[in-house]
């Protein structure tokens, strides 16, 4: 091969570009092509590109990336922890001692393909939506390495082949009768199941989900100052330990049911539930899922129905679903739930069944008059009628 670009070499998997040594460091770039002409073009782009910074270890770069996003308010603490776990998972897969600059599109594609086949500890295959979430996280990380750190020549996640998948619609939600039974059960739960105070606390959790559509972490981080009985409103806002999703505070009107319960629920301390619990190494400050399951399972046994499917998120989904079924506008539902309007429309539009607005299809139509059996002329007159008498022309 004629070396039109110095440092261009053919390998069994394609072409590579090796730069000259500078300060004891050689830049190595996988051109990811077996076509010589394409390799030359890509190599020239690398030659003309500005010098790349020397990347650190995987863990150091991941920490720097998370700190960068937090500093710019692009991640909440909760989302930052999730992103960090995903990136560390990839670093462990690729090898924590491997060079970041040598990661190519083929590596990302292989990781994606393997993750799609992975089976969790519970025996379930990882969902496509989860795997594509990993890819979005990796894309953001490598984009930062490319644009901000200048540590890689291009983003290897761009252009990988991923499956098309249907978002679908969320069908599981509580019917009003079940919701009401769950909200009121705390008054009669036996002491051997849970203490009265703990039952009341789980009832607060249920009201936050069913009556206000709060997310799980929003319930955990809820502050007494968020609730204003006089104005009948709940305002989800930032605190020193919590930042709302997309950094946007939102106000939710309090229902009569929620207001009535709040009169019986004293909120003392910094937090509405488990006020003495402080944040540790876990993802949540406090996780109410164990007493929540005990409470829900007890109600299920009382009504003779298995409620294994009921989760904190389904409470939130019930909030949106029942409002949509009742005919409330998706714009209001989106505002109260703090979701993007497109997400709300995708998840709850199917609940607006029998919408009479579809009759607008005929709003511009008038009933058609029965036509005469006689053949009509283009001017609308019967073709068999006699022509009008001609008037005499003067002059």
Q: Is the pTM of this model over 0.75?
A: no
In-domain check, residue 168? no
Which position has the higher pLDDT, 301 or 49?
301
In-domain check, residue 195? yes
Instruction: For residues 88 and 220, state if they share a domain.
Output: no
Is the distance from CB of 203 to CB of 186 less than 8 angstroms? yes
Instruction: For residues 272 and 339, state if they share a domain.
Output: yes
By DSSP bridging, strand 250-253 and strand 14-18 are: unpaired
In-domain check, residue 35? yes
The predicted pLDDT at position 379 comes to 45
b or e along 55-90 (b: 16 or more beta carbons within 10 Å of the residue's beta carbon)?
Answer: beebeebbebbbeebeeeeebbebbbeebbebbeeb
Could you tell me which residues come within 8 angstroms of residue 299 by beta carbon, excluding any fewer than 6 positions away? 181, 182, 185, 307
Is the distance from CB of 220 to CB of 286 less than 8 angstroms? yes
Residue by residue, DSSP assigns 36-75 as: HHHHHHHHHHHHHSPPPPPP--HHHHHHHHHHHHHHTT-S
The predicted pLDDT at position 174 comes to 94
Instruction: For residues 184 and 141, state if they share a domain.
Output: no
The predicted pLDDT at position 277 comes to 85
Instruction: Categorize the per-residue pLDDT at 58 as very low, low, confident or very high, splitting at 50, 70 and 90.
Output: very high
Domain boundary among 336, 351, 366: 351
Mean pLDDT of 105-124: 91
The predicted pLDDT at position 380 comes to 47
Instruction: Categorize the per-residue pLDDT at 40 as very low, low, confident or very high, splitting at 50, 70 and 90.
Output: confident
Q: Which residue has the tokens 């919590």?
A: 242
Instruction: For residues 94 and 230, state if they share a domain.
Output: no
Instruction: For residues 298 and 193, state if they share a domain.
Output: yes
In-domain check, residue 1? no
Residue by residue, DSSP assigns 263-322 as: TT----SSSSSSTT----SSSSS---HHHHHHHHHHHHHHHT---TT--HHHHHHHHHHH
In-domain check, residue 170? no
Is the distance from CB of 138 to CB of 155 less than 8 angstroms? no
Residue 114 pLDDT more than 70?
Answer: yes
Instruction: For residues 305 and 202, state if they share a domain.
Output: yes
Instruction: For residues 251 and 185, state if they share a domain.
Output: yes
The predicted pLDDT at position 88 comes to 95
Instruction: For residues 70 and 30, state if they share a domain.
Output: no
What would the two tokens of residue 41 be? 């073009």
In-domain check, residue 378? no
Instruction: Categorize the per-residue pLDDT at 35 as very low, low, confident or very high, splitting at 50, 70 and 90.
Output: confident
Instruction: For residues 246 and 341, state if they share a domain.
Output: yes
Cα separations in angstroms, 161 against 110, 190, 236, 300: 10, 55, 39, 45
Instruction: For residues 205 and 141, state if they share a domain.
Output: no
In-domain check, residue 327? yes
- Domain of residue 19: give its range: 8-48
Instruction: Categorize the per-residue pLDDT at 381 as very low, low, confident or very high, splitting at 50, 70 and 90.
Output: very low
What would the two tokens of residue 157 be? 């996640």
In-domain check, residue 237? yes
Domain count, the chain: 3
Domain boundary among 129, 147, 165: 147
Domain boundary among 147, 166, 195: 147
Look up the CATH number of the domain holding residue 345: 1.10.443.10
Instruction: For residues 343 and 301, state if they share a domain.
Output: yes
Q: How does pLDDT run across 98-112, given as a tens digit for each residue? A: 989 889 999 999 999
Residue 113 pLDDT more than 80?
Answer: yes
Instruction: For residues 346 and 281, state if they share a domain.
Output: yes
Which ranges constitute the DSSP H helices of 151-235? 176-184, 196-212, 216-220
The predicted pLDDT at position 224 comes to 96
């Amino acid at each position: 091969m004629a070396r039109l670009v110095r440092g261009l070499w053919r390998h069994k998997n394609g072409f590579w570009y090796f730069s000259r040594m500078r300060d004891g460091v050689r830049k190595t770039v996988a051109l990811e092509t077996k076509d010589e002409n394409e390799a030359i073009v890509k190599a020239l782009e690398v030659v003309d590109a500005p010098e790349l910074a020397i990347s650190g270890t995987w863990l150091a770069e991941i920490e720097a990336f998370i700190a960068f996003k937090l500093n710019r308010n692009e991640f909440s603490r909760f989302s930052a922890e999730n992103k960090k776990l995903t990136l560390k998972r990839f670093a462990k897969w690729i090898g924590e001692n491997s060079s970041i600059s040598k990661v190519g599109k083929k590596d990302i594609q292989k990781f994606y393909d393997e993750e799609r086949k992975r089976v969790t500890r519970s025996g379930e295959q990882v969902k496509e939506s989860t795997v594509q979430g990993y890819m979005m996280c990796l894309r953001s990380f490598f984009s930062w390495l490319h644009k901000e750190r200048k540590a890689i020549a291009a983003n290897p996640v761009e252009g990988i082949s991923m499956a098309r998948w249907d978002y679908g619609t969320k069908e599981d939600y509580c019917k009003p009768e079940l919701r009401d039974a769950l909200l009121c059960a705390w008054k009669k739960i036996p002491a051997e199941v849970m203490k009265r105070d703990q039952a009341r606390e789980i009832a607060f959790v249920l009201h936050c989900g069913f009556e206000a559509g709060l997310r799980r972490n929003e319930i955990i981080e809820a502050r007494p100052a968020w609730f204003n009985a006089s104005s009948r409103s709940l305002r989800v806002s930032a605190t020193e330990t919590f930042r709302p999703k997309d950094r946007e505070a939102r106000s939710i009107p309090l229902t009569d049911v929620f207001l009535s319960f709040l009169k019986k629920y004293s909120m003392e301390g910094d937090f509405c539930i488990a006020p003495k619990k402080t944040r540790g190494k876990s993802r949540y400050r406090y996780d109410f899922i164990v007493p929540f399951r005990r409470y829900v399972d007890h109600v299920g046994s009382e009504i003779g129905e298995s409620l294994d499917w009921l989760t904190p998120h389904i409470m939130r989904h019930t909030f949106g679903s029942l409002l949509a079924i009742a005919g409330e506008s998706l714009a209001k539902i989106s505002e109260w739930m703090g979701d993007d309007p497109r997400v709300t429309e995708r998840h709850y539009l199917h609940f607006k069944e029998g919408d009479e607005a579809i009759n607008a299809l005929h709003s511009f139509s008038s009933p058609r008059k029965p036509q005469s059996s006689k053949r009509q002329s283009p001017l609308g007159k019967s073709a068999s009628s006699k022509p009008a008498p001609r008037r005499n022309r003067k002059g």
